[in-house]
Amino acid sequence: MQKYTMTVHEGLAELKILGQRIEKELASNAFIMINKHANTKIDGMSIADCQKVLKASMQKVNDLINRRNAIKQAITKSNAVTEITLTKDNGNSVTMTVAEVIEYKNVGIMYLEKLLSTLSSQYARVTREMKLKNDALTQEADRYVVGLFGSKDGNGISADVIENSRNSYIEANTIDLIDPNKVMNKINDLKEELDFYNTKVDAALSTSNAVTTIEFEV
């Protein structure tokens, strides 16, 4: 076996190439074939030479797969222990392993984006509905007074009684926002966090991958 050393960046690039080469070898090579017992040659080649070609094809694809797996394992081990620090504009920082950053980038951020989308949609819907209903309360209160006293001026009922009844109706029917989660604050926090990670993560990973080395044997 031979020992190899390369940066993570180089390893990732080679993984992509190896994947393409493996697929090509699998698609273009035979690893087993048939032959009539009486034939001593296959396509002009002796049986022994055909066997050598089949074995060479198998060896080549196995070598590619083994190298690919060795590089991948070395990168995985490196990512589990290599740490990167992301610094926010306010000076606060967060330190995570590369593996944690990658998982967060690929999955964690996705769920934060879905949460942001859901909160934004719900906030817009309920605040719009609340405004529409509350804007209509003035006319509804007028109709309530007419229904209660026969007219807007109350047919002799004191103005204070009418106004108190009208205000009581508005107060009782005003639509309130039930927001224990302080959704707008959460929306702003999520936007800030997503902007931070989307801006910093790729650059931090690229820098780390360029300077972090891995070793493997094949």
| Torsion angles phi and psi, residue 135, rounded to 5 | -65, -30
Q: Which residues contact 135 (CB under 8 A, 6 or more apart)?
A: none
Q: Give the SS3 label for residue 213.
A: strand
- Alpha-carbon distance of 170 to 167, in angstroms, equals 5
- Alpha-carbon distance of 197 to 108, in angstroms, equals 11
To the nearest whole percent, how much of the chain has pLDDT over 70? 98
Contact of 215 with 75, CB cutoff 8 Å: no
With tokens 């006319």, the residue in question is 139
pLDDT per residue as tens digits for the range 187-196 = 999 999 999 8
| DSSP bridge partners of 4 | 216
Instruction: Please tell me whether the overall predicted TM-score, pTM, comes out greater than 0.85 for this model.
Output: no
pLDDT per residue as tens digits for the range 68-96 = 999 999 999 999 999 999 988 788 889 99
Closest CA to 78 of 198, 216, 200, 196: 216
Would you list the domain boundaries of the chain? 3-81, 93-207
